[in-house]
Chain A
Amino acid sequence: MMTEKDFPDAGFDTVQLVPKAQAREALSFLKNELGFNVLVDHTAADLSKWPEAKEGRFELTWRLMKLDPKTGLVERRLALKTRVAEGEDGPPSSKDLWPNADWAEREVWDMFGVKPSDNPSIKRLLLYEEFKGHPLRKDYPIAKRQPLVEPMAAPRERIDPKELRPKLVDS
């Protein structure tokens, strides 16, 4: 069971790292018990060039904000992070908590190839379906392009209008 003491308030830069198995529970707790009513962003980072990579290659982040419904002023901010190893799914989707998490999760899938464990048929958000790979992974060559249209053929020579004029047979 999580309690309020698990999430001490360290000002605007509070960052909390939780194991992947607890991430979904922590998110529900933050939304329902602690009142973090805004998901500012959900994103990821590829740590493969960092020493932290041995705890899991991808770091998922949820940036949360607690707004006072009466005044609209910010009461608290918190960033929840978790690590996901390569080839694994992330924690279950949090779109039931914050509807905007849906698109953010699709973007994380699109760019990093990490999907929520309860959404196996997730679709890309920004790139097109034909795209192969996940471009924000450090091992994707950044300038590798996957064009959808073939380059245009050189233009056909124009017909000279003189050729279209009727020709007299015996001239």
Chain B
Amino acid sequence: MSDEFESRGAEGSGESFRTPGIIASRLDDAIGWARKYSIFQYPFVTACCGMEFMSTAGSHYDLDRFGAGFPRFSPRQADVLMVVGTVSHKIAPILKRIYEQMAEPKWVVAFGVCTCTGGFYDDYATVQGIDTIVPVDLYIPGCPPRPENVLQGLMLLQDKIQKQGRHPKPGTLRPPVR
């Protein structure tokens, strides 16, 4: 059982609740804990970063260890939108629509510099960072990010989900770069 549960149980009460068969916790912690280990991700894969995503999701690096190994290809069943790869202005309405279709609570991960800032595509076709269209909770830089980088990002996202408790707020939105 996770640390959050055990430490809360004993906290301030003067005695331990660690009686066999009973777990005491705050509701926020319990919900955060349950959510962070059951991430159903929606992979929105558009470009070369997808290769690195596949490598991370495959058995060698194994996203499943973090409870995030189950991609859902319906936004209505997903809670983390993984935007992996360059987002062009042509596909931007689709990305926004998928974000809006996801049920709350939902989190968005910008995977690779193209999604974080537009990367080196400072041109007519590319959205300069998906946080100009949808709120982003976690940025994973790199072109493409190494799988270790992605796993670290995933653990940071889990921390964030744990801390947010029952009512997570949407991530950052940035004014657009025209």
Contacts and interface: CB of A to CB of B under 8 A. Distances in A.
Contacts, number: 56
A154 B169 CA distance: 12
A147 B122 contact: no
A64 B128 CA distance: 38
A155 B124 contact: no
B127 interface: yes
Most buried by A among B124, B127, B173, B175: B124
Q: Is the interface of B mostly helix, strand, loop or mixed?
A: loop
Q: Which size bracket describes the interface of A in this complex?
A: 10 to 19
B173 A148 contact: no
Interface in A115-155: 126-128, 135, 140, 142-149, 151-152, 154-155
B90 A148 contact: yes
Central interface residue in A135, A143, A154, by most chain B CB within 10 Å: A143
B60 interface: no
Interface residues of B, number: 23
Given A127-B125, A135-B124, A147-B127, A152 B173 contact: yes
A146 B135 contact: no
Interface of A: 126-128, 135, 140, 142-149, 151-152, 154-155, 158, 161
29 contacts: A127-B90, A128-B90, A140-B124, A142-B123, A143-B122, A143-B124, A144-B124, A145-B124, A146-B89, A146-B124, A147-B89, A147-B92, A147-B127, A147-B176, A148-B89, A148-B90, A148-B92, A149-B92, A149-B93, A149-B96, A149-B133, A151-B173, A152-B96, A152-B132, A152-B133, A154-B173, A155-B169, A158-B167, A161-B167
